[in-house]
Structure 1
Amino acid sequence: MENQNVVLTRQYDLDWIRVLATIGVFLYHCSMFFNPFPWHVKNNELDSSSILVFSLFVGAWIMPIFFVVSGMNMSYGLKKRKTTAYLKERLLRLGVPLVFGVFILTPPQIFIERSANNQFQGSFLDFLPHYFDGIYLDFGGTGNFAFFGLHLWYLLVLLVFSFITVPLFRKIPSGKNIGLVHFYVLPLLLFGTGFIKTQGLGGWDLVFYLVILLYGFYFFSNPSFKPVLKKTINIHLVRAVITSVIYVVWFIKAYPQPGSVQEIIFFGVRTINCWSLLLCIFYFADKYLSYSNRFLKYASEASMPFYVLHQPVIVFFGYIIHNLSWSITVKLLFLVPVSFMMIMFCYHFVIRRFYVLRFLFGMKGNSQVLTKDRRNSAFPAGR
């Protein structure tokens, strides 16, 4: 039956992973301003050393871990809700901030990209009527309407995945015990997704994300996952270190030609690297972060609005400084803390205090929280 009365123990390590991954994607997008990869606005001096290494390392696992955690949350959510209630919750928590981002947060970023690349002359108000001129598909294109919300593509993809996987998840629920063999068979299936080309987003194909979400639902959320992981963590840790070094050095020194045998081997190394890093992250989160405190409660609620808001803020401040004569180090020391403080200021003093904004940013409207905010205006400290 759908409406079972299930008592689930909250896994605080998942909350910590989501919070830390959100900070990770913030730092990753800050690095995109400096590294050689295409982005909305680029610094006048690019870095192909330490910042590029950081971008490659974080980019290998940052979006996959969001989909793994989402798959795990689907497993828990479907045990507590009927299908209709679950899908309604998905529409509100994902669809509303997506639409808000497409029409409010995305136009300024497209305007900045066009202005920074001399593709548009004029003010933001002059640009607004042109926002619907063609479909924005990638950096450097000519279309302006980004229906997927740029960095908010994750919300769109997760929303679609939520709807198409519900029949499967209802028919075949999670719960079957897993053995050691799964730790080595599953990455082979991920490697197989490299031969299916649909749409690449965030460094991986959509099929890869769908498979990793299914793993989150059936594999990572399984009660037998953590005991087996503890027994094999040394193998995964060594493999993660070795493949990280091979992947980063290979990418920087001699990226393989598309369609070559070397590219297939390279993708295999990258897949094993991603898989091993995910296992290590879940192991250390379970070992050191299986607790809650006041900071976690605050940061967990802030993670969605922070994610929605972070890239527009980074792009804005990046555009301000991109042509200045400051060194990369000085610009980095400016961009990261100033962007972070602006995002947190908007969240803490504006977004979380008004029901309409909470709704638009995918938050629950909790009157008790709003009342408590008025009594305690200081930024909460851990306890």
Structure 2
Amino acid sequence: MSSTAPVPAPSSRRHDLDWIRVGAFFLLIFYHVGMLYVSWDFHVKSPRIVEAVQPVMMLTNPWRLTLLFLVSGAATRFMADRFAADGGRPGARLAGSRVLRLAPALVFGMLVIVPPQSYFEIWHGLAALGVADPAASPVLHDFWIRYATGSGAWCDAEGCLTTPTWNHLWFIAYLLPYGLIVAALIALAGPALKGLERRMETVLSGWGLLIWPVLWFAVLRFTLAPLFEITHALTYDWYNHALSFSAYLFGFLTARSEIMKAAYVRLRRPALVLAILSWAGWATYAWIYRADGAVPPDALRLAMRMVYAVNQWTCMAAILGFAARHLTRGGPVLRYLSVGVFPFYIVHQTIIIAAAHWLMPLSLPLATEAIAILGVTLACCWLTYEIARRLGWLGLFLGVKARSPKKRSPA
């Protein structure tokens, strides 16, 4: 007899995780609009920087993308269980599904969606140097060909722009190998994964749910983070991989656990208190030492690594707990958005940068300008999704899987 546990019914869902995924992707849109107006580097910048926005944006910096990897791992678990329930080889089917779902969108995104971001980045760099008509500059001549072939030689004092690039689509570039690794683990060590899942339930069913993940994040902050700056380049991005893949695997292993879900609900309020306190400490520290030449004392810098780790996990735990308690219903809105957030994600940053390029010269009131950029972005994202869902298999290039034809009832 097989030593593996029975596969749960594939029809069961975690609507709370679906809502979190939708919310996290929409949060990215707001965040990237905010990137136009803070002092941090971005492809296009507003001349009107609002530093006071930065502490608000720091609310999400430590955990936003890590949470996305966690819920993506959970989604992969439901997918793998569905393949297992259908019979055959779930590891191989999961690997094929991940390649088909992610590779077309990544390649299309790098060659079609992302190039305008690089174009406008170079355009604004030329304008900052005093070029009267950047679009007519030989620097941008045959832009797409030079972009696609990596022959642009677009350099400044800070370095060169390497193309083709995936920019914000790095998330897809990381999800693809993570999914393939998990598929290999299912194929080679499925029973061991089940055993690891049960041990995690034992260790994390009580206060360990808040303690052990914080310690793990702290270990990463003290060891890998000082050595490996986050690059989003896939290679030599070891701190980011350790953080993101561990969250992805954690989501995969715990997605089905009712014990873990109950623990999140039970500890949601303590997690929220710790999240608020740790954010206040981290944001204050980052604000005080925000200047380029500001050097914090070594002891304070080390202490803040721990505070950052606390904030990383407790924010995620609070969100998971409150969502598990309150966001338990599905429905047509959630079904629509669950599919739509992926094409929204693929195109949103290009639309933000293009909208900013055209709207910022109008010198609208700052709030009006930001709202207009956000409105244009959401409208164009929605339009992209509506087009993509009507393209059949071509919709894969924009992150939308072709819908299966409905079975006709017998005459």
- TM-score bucket of the superposed structures, by smaller chain: 0.7 to 0.9
The question of whether the paired residues in 2 share the 8 Å contact of 1:35 and 1:47 is answered with: yes
The answer for the alignment partner of 1:354 in structure 2 is: 391
4+ aligned runs moved over 6 Å, structure 1: 1-4, 134-139
SS at match of 2:340: helix
Alignment of 1:327-366 (within 5 A): 327-348=365-386, 350-366=387-403
Is the aligned partner of 1:190 residue 2:207? Answer: no
The answer for the alignment partner of 1:97 in structure 2 is: 105
- TM-score, structure 2 length as denominator? 0.81
What is the deviation of 1:157? 0.8
CA distance in 2, matches of 1:158, 1:137: 30
Decide which structure has the larger Cα Rg and report it. Answer: 2
CA distance in 1, matches of 2:250, 2:40: 30
What is the deviation of 1:167? 3.7
Give 2:279's match in structure 1, choosing from 244, 258, 276. Answer: 244
The answer for the alignment partner of 2:47 in structure 1 is: 44
Is the aligned partner of 1:86 residue 2:100? Answer: no
What is the deviation of 1:160? 1.4
Question: Structure 1 residues 28, 311: CA separation in 2 closer, same or farther (over 3 Å shift)?
Answer: same
The question of whether the paired residues in 2 share the 8 Å contact of 1:257 and 1:263 is answered with: no
Alignment of 1:89-238 (within 5 A): 89-118=97-126, 121-122=134-135, 126-131=142-147, 132-133=150-151, 141-147=159-165, 149-170=166-187, 171=189, 172-174=192-194, 175-176=197-198, 177-178=201-202, 179-180=205-206, 181-194=208-221, 195-196=223-224, 197-201=227-231, 205-219=240-254, 221-238=256-273
The answer for the alignment partner of 2:356 in structure 1 is: 318
SS at match of 1:142: strand
CA distance in 2, matches of 1:139, 1:304: 35
CA distance in 1, matches of 2:155, 2:283: 27
- TM-score, structure 1 length as denominator? 0.87
Question: Structure 1 residues 317, 213: CA separation in 2 closer, same or farther (over 3 Å shift)?
Answer: same
The question of whether the paired residues in 2 share the 8 Å contact of 1:41 and 1:322 is answered with: no
5+ residue gaps, structure 1: 370-383
Q: Percent identity?
A: 22
Aligned pairs, number: 367
Alignment of 1:291-310 (within 5 A): 291-310=329-348
The answer for the alignment partner of 2:86 in structure 1 is: none
The question of whether the paired residues in 2 share the 8 Å contact of 1:30 and 1:336 is answered with: yes
What is the deviation of 1:133? 2.4
Moved more, 187-196 or 354-363: 354-363
Alignment of 1:370-381 (within 5 A): none
CA distance in 2, matches of 1:146, 1:245: 39
The question of whether the paired residues in 1 share the 8 Å contact of 2:62 and 2:308 is answered with: yes
What is the deviation of 1:235? 1.4
